[in-house]
Amino acid sequence: MNNHSNNLCRFRLVIPAIALTIATLSGQAEIPENDWPVHGHTHKEQRFSPLDQVTRGNVHALQPEWYLDIPSIDDGLTATPIIRDGIIYMSSSFANIYAVDAANGDLLWHYDPEVSVHSGFSNSWAARVNRGVAVADGLVFIGTPDCRLVAVSADSGELRWQNLTCDPSAEYAITGAPRVADGKVFIGNGISDYGARGYVSAYNAATGKFIWRFWTVPGNPEDGHENEIMEMAAETWADGWAPYGGGSPWDAIVFDPELNQLYVGTDSAIPYDPSVRSPGGGDHLFTNSIIALDADTGAYQWHYQTVPNDAWDYNAANHIILADLQISGESRQVLMQAPKNGFFYVIDRQTGALLSARPYIGITWALHVDLKTGRPVEHPEARYYNNQSKRATVIPSLIGGHNWHPMSYNPYTGLVYIPAHEFKTTFSINPDAALGGVLFDVYGDDLDEKKTGLKPETKNTIGRLIAWDPVRAKAKWAVNHELPMNGGVMSSAGGLVFQGTATGWFNAYEANTGKRLWSYDVQASVQAPPVSYRIDGKQYVLAAVGGGGIARFMVPIYGTGEKALGPSRLIAFTLDGRETLPALVLHQPAVPRPPELTASAEDITRGAETYEVAACGVCHGSTGVGSRPHTSVPDLRYMTPETHKDFRNIVLRGYRRPTGMIPYDGILEDADIDTIHAYLISRQWELYQQRQNKTQTKE
């Protein structure tokens, strides 16, 4: 077991004298309602708690029972906590695992896999995100950003086995939670945006022995296709294969105990411009798809593709829910997904037949989905690379109408609760762009602060909690949020829906109407989904707070409110809780005076374009606005004189590669680096002068 970091020294180390009894989570095993034993509470991933002690009538009495700060180098929390036999297993950035006493919040043990962050861009970015662990048979499983599948003891955190399940030097990484069932651990990977060829793998849970692998896109035919399914997929690519990779199953992996199938949602293809990716056209299987596999062998069963020949990164890797629904008077075993493209899909999970597909937000890229063909009917101007202007502004954005944040299905109300967001992205062709010739403005063309004078966070953005009726294929109610990127969702038998927000509030809503019944200021942005459990007859509602993931790095102004900058922590609420959170003191760090700005306006504009072309904003924030000054991926408007002095060496020559800043040597020239630097100096001057003006106004 790894030694505790200094940040953990104030917590006492408690190793249970009696080993945890962790029942095998087989397909037929009964899921104990007191726990939250798998990612979505049950293998159906409905994220519905059967506990009903906390109800519409008493939810107003919820107060913290305990809280525990989780050191995560200020990268926030995105994981679903797993609860087994009174122990919480929680992960944070850099694939750290924390075991916590669920009754009182005592830290029991901490495991640090000591990940490497300098193998590639994907490895470095992914290190800041982890969406959770799996627990079974006395083991805790986690995927690491440097491509390991790790199993540690649930009792002590001691390493039991580990396997290298992908190659981090080939732009692979892991951010998603493993799934465990029937003695097997299932794990996907990412990040195909940078050239990785996607696949999902199964391993023996007890030993780590490899069992099977399913590739999601075809490889080089000169090496021979793995099977006839890959031969079939190759026919949908003009060159007979996916030369740039694609199709990573980075999040949605769902085990179906009734049909013994595994459902896998896949990423989009790269480059984004299909005319570059595969000039001869084609649907590009199995990108943007839901694939059904035999859970024992990995054999292909069926697939459904949400966006053939995708051009907008509208992947289908999002949360998948299994349920039995009465549709047209017939009971159907279905799966449900609200992927990034803005449509809500209901699919027969026995056959893959499409039952319904309706927009859950306002969309502009497509008119509808043809239920006979299953294909979207696209707006003729949406494919920017075919336009005369070579650009298009579309809704949903590149971030999607719904991203990784989990939904919830309540079998009593029959509603799916979707954490949705509605904003736009402008795509345009730029042959020099890092992501395959496409430049994208995440905030949309009319949100450019320099063009409009309006702050991006104040214009044309909507965050919503939507209650969707999957049988009638329409929304029953919706609640608007102040910012777009809000947390995952849990519903309960108490008639409630719980969700945290980017502005730092943890809310409970009436499940049938959407009326807000309770709110608590948790002081930090919430992106992770809540869970619930019961100990000694008492129901706990657990919130993991501290915004993380894409809402922290790429679009921080959409994912973190100005007063929601508190620490990453677990907060357990009960009806008789007596704990209070410490007062939040926001320390606004000083902006160092930047160097004199000697660059021309033309060079600064070119630097802004190069910053986006080189995908700097994926980590440090679009438009040069980062999340915070002192995180593992800092806001570059707070650069010190020393950083300015070494800027070219850092960006071009790898002076900070050990901490994950991958060098651009061979990608950008000195002149490119200098224009990016000039742009960032201009952004730092804007913030510096803004602070100076505020100080003078107060005086």
313 is catalytic: yes
Query: Which of 313, 603, 672, 674 is an active site residue?
Result: 313
DSSP single-letter state for residue 620:
H
The structure tokens 């990016």 sit at: 676
Give the pair of three-digit tokens for residue 501. Answer: 């927000």
Collapsing DSSP states into helix, strand and coil, what is residue 155? coil
Q: Among positive and negative, which fits the CA dihedral 274, 124, 550, 185? A: positive
Judged by DSSP in three states, 195 sits in coil
State the Cα torsion 628-312-218-292 to the nearest 10°: 90
Residue found under tokens 């680096």: 673
Q: Which helix (H) or strand (E) holds 274?
A: helix 274-277
Residues facing residue 134 across a β-bridge? 141
With left for phi above 0 and alpha for psi between -120 and 50, is residue 73 left, alpha or beta?
A: left
Q: Where in 195-244 does DSSP place strands (E)?
A: 199-204, 210-215
Which letter does DSSP use for residue 665 in this model? B
3-state secondary structure of 641: helix
474/506 Cα distance (integer angstroms): 26
Cα gap 624→684, rounded to integer Å: 9
What are the start-end ranges of the E strands in 207-252?
210-215
Give the distance from CA 363 to its chain's centroid.
Answer: 21
Calpha distance 36→309 (Å, rounded): 38
- Known catalytic residues? 313
